[in-house]
A and B are shown apart, each in its own frame.
Chain A
Amino acid sequence: MTVADTVVSARSVSKTFGKGGVTALTDIDLEVGRGEFISLIGPSGCGKSTLLRVIGDLVEPSTGEILVNGKAAHRARLDRDYGIVFQAAVLYDWRTVVKNIALPLELLGWNRARRAERVREMVELVELEGFEKNYPWQLSGGMQQRVSIARALSFSPALLLMDEPFGALDEMTRERLNMELLRIWAETGSTVIFVTHSISEAVFLSTRVAVMSARPGRITAVVPVDLPQPRTFETREKPRFFELVTEVRERLHAGGLDEALAEAEALD
């Protein structure tokens, strides 16, 4: 991987909350290449959401540095290099679907015509035609999350950060949105960092899976996923898929975290 192709480069990153308090992350090294889809997986409390926030400059690391497109994370945030999708859709109740998607564009100072044009493309991308004038509370949970994804992608950020975006959805909606996310990823060529506690979701979506363990939070293994692209509904039935799921599961266990893992799986 050449330097120009590296979107995220984390070096010896650690994070301690409070004075001498909880160590959330320790000694994190991670390189994410352009166009990669990388999942962070681990039990609850392993710091995967914290790592995502550190990369997104929403939480400051205690030590180490994060470079995004060769810039400090703070600079990258000011340059609007991040699109973020949270577990909750975090849509503004008082804005319609199109107005929600246009929010970052307004902040970037795009004029009305340019905004309308881009929002139309985004609505098409996430297949919400006909719902433009609806308010968020008139949409199902899955549709809300699609609006949230459209909003994150509207200004073509270099990096899409997703924090358990489908964690609150039912299994069927989740699998459908997984497919949609892969289609969007392929169409836009974005780089994605995706936090999840579902092993099968991580394997299905990713080009690489970073396995984390808790107390202190660190990356214990990175599993490359060599399943062919594009992934389809049949991908989940391929023997190779099960092998990779097993490998990720064993890596999680190797972290000595059976207890925490049981807890994480109970959440699935």
Chain B
Amino acid sequence: MQVQPGGTASRGQSISRWSLSALGRAGTLVLVVLVLWGLWEGYRWLWMETGWTRPFVVNATTMPHLHDIVGALFEPIREGEPLLAERLFHAALFTAKEAAVGFAIGAAIGFVLGALIARFGVLQRGVMPYVVASQTIPILALAPIVVVGLGNLSIFGWTPTDWMRVAVIAAYLTFFPVTVNTVRGLRSADPAAVELMESYAAREWSVFWKLRVPAALPYLFSAFKVAATACVVGAVIGELPSSIQDGLGGWIINFNQYYVLAPENLWATNLIAALLGIGFFLLVVLVEKLVVHRAPERLV
């Protein structure tokens, strides 16, 4: 093991090492994109050449060229309108707002629920089955009930707006992994560390914030990574039944109807939705890097 005082010498080293690894990662990314591109176009070419029809017929409608999909982003849908990329960018921001708010609500509820279950063993048997059951309901079946149902809700004359109701769906998909991992994480504290806190006569609240929560952080961030992509999916699906036009879900419905005419538009929208999910994921990874300090081999 390398034992170094301070951090200045090692910091300079780690920055150059970091930029090297960043370069390496960028190279890997380009390589992966090229391979995927090759696989798509190769598959497309082979099936069209041979005329194979299984598992599905390959033609310009089922599998547009990738460059047509990317190209569609830089064309207007109709003459004189903004580029598709611009429309989708605004739609992605709208969906991102739903997803982010849903993530925050879901993570908060998931954490509190997990903390209560970890603290009170009786809840493990009493509540956990219902938490699990909640996730077995197909989200597609639940979304209309929640999104349309909450539209009729009135709290002193105030009704949640469209995007708030969609955020509830995003929260619904977020809270589950957070609850499960909070329970595990809070219980992962080293028993000797708990004994140490007891020797200081630390209050339970101090043990929670100074030991259990920091010990749980790697587990929490694992959950956040799952939830980061799930909340985007939840937001898109939540938009579908309520015919909200401002988000990516609206565009997906729209382009679905005109798929035969312009398949690359739907694919382009899917691409943007995927990029949004990846963006959320990377944001969580970045925050984890800033917040969680662990020996490299101890990160979960």
Chains A and B come from one and the same complex: yes
Tell me which of B2, B195, B294 contacts A93 (CB under 8 A): B294
Alpha-carbon distance A135/B202, docked complex (angstroms): 23
How many A-B contacts if CB must be within 8 Å?
Answer: 73
From B4, B7, B196, B217, name the one whose CB has the most chain A CB atoms within 10 angstroms.
Answer: B196
**Any chain A CB within 8 A of the CB of B261?**
no
Alpha-carbon distance A90/B197, docked complex (angstroms): 11
Q: Which B residues from 180 to 200 make CB contacts under 8 A with A?
A: 190, 192-193, 195-200
Alpha-carbon distance A93/B300, docked complex (angstroms): 14
Chain A contacts of B6 at CB under 8 A? 130-134
Q: Which B residues from 205 to 250 make CB contacts under 8 A with A?
A: 206, 210-211, 214, 217
* Contact indicator B199/A134 (Cβ below 8 Å): no
Alpha-carbon distance A4/B295, docked complex (angstroms): 46
Chain A contacts of B210 at CB under 8 A? 103, 106-107
Chain B contacts of A84 at CB under 8 A? 195-196, 199
**Any chain B CB within 8 A of the CB of A30?**
no
Alpha-carbon distance A254/B217, docked complex (angstroms): 52
* Contact indicator B7/A56 (Cβ below 8 Å): no
Tell me which of B1, B199, B298 contacts A77 (CB under 8 A): B199
Chain A contacts of B3 at CB under 8 A? 131, 138-140, 143
A142, closest chain B residue (CB): B3
Tell me which of B1, B2, B192, B201 contacts A78 (CB under 8 A): B201
Alpha-carbon distance A161/B199, docked complex (angstroms): 10
Alpha-carbon distance A103/B202, docked complex (angstroms): 10
A52-89 near B? 1/0 per residue, CB < 8 Å: 00001010000000000000000001111011101010
Alpha-carbon distance A56/B192, docked complex (angstroms): 14
* Contact indicator B214/A137 (Cβ below 8 Å): no
**Any chain A CB within 8 A of the CB of B23?**
no
From B2, B4, B195, B200, name the one whose CB has the most chain A CB atoms within 10 angstroms.
Answer: B200
**Any chain B CB within 8 A of the CB of A104?**
yes
Chain A contacts of B195 at CB under 8 A? 58, 84, 86
* Contact indicator B293/A135 (Cβ below 8 Å): yes
Chain A contacts of B298 at CB under 8 A? 93, 137
**Any chain A CB within 8 A of the CB of B55?**
no
Tell me which of B4, B192, B197, B217 contacts A138 (CB under 8 A): B4
Alpha-carbon distance A77/B201, docked complex (angstroms): 6
Q: How far is the CB of B40 from chain A (nearest CB, A)?
A: 43
* Contact indicator A131/B5 (Cβ below 8 Å): yes
Chain B contacts of A104 at CB under 8 A? 200
* Contact indicator B199/A58 (Cβ below 8 Å): yes
**Any chain A CB within 8 A of the CB of B32?**
no
Alpha-carbon distance A79/B199, docked complex (angstroms): 10
* Contact indicator A137/B196 (Cβ below 8 Å): no
Q: Which B residues from 70 to 104 make CB contacts under 8 A with A?
A: none
B189, closest chain A residue (CB): A92
* Contact indicator A94/B217 (Cβ below 8 Å): yes
B213, closest chain A residue (CB): A94
Q: How far is the CB of A148 from chain B (nearest CB, A)?
A: 9
Alpha-carbon distance A126/B271, docked complex (angstroms): 57
CB-defined A-B contacts under 8 Å, sample of 15: A56-B199, A79-B201, A80-B200, A84-B195, A84-B196, A92-B211, A93-B298, A94-B293, A130-B5, A130-B6, A132-B6, A135-B293, A135-B295, A138-B3, A140-B3
Nearest 7 pairs between A and B by C-beta?
A: A130-B5, A137-B295, A84-B199, A94-B214, A90-B192, A78-B201, A94-B293
Residues in B lying within 8 Å of A, measured CB to CB: 1-7, 190, 192-193, 195-202, 206, 210-211, 214, 217, 292-295, 298
Q: A77-B198, A107-B210 are in contact. List 9 more A-B contacts (CB 8 A).
A: A58-B199, A94-B214, A94-B293, A103-B210, A107-B197, A138-B1, A138-B2, A139-B3, A140-B3
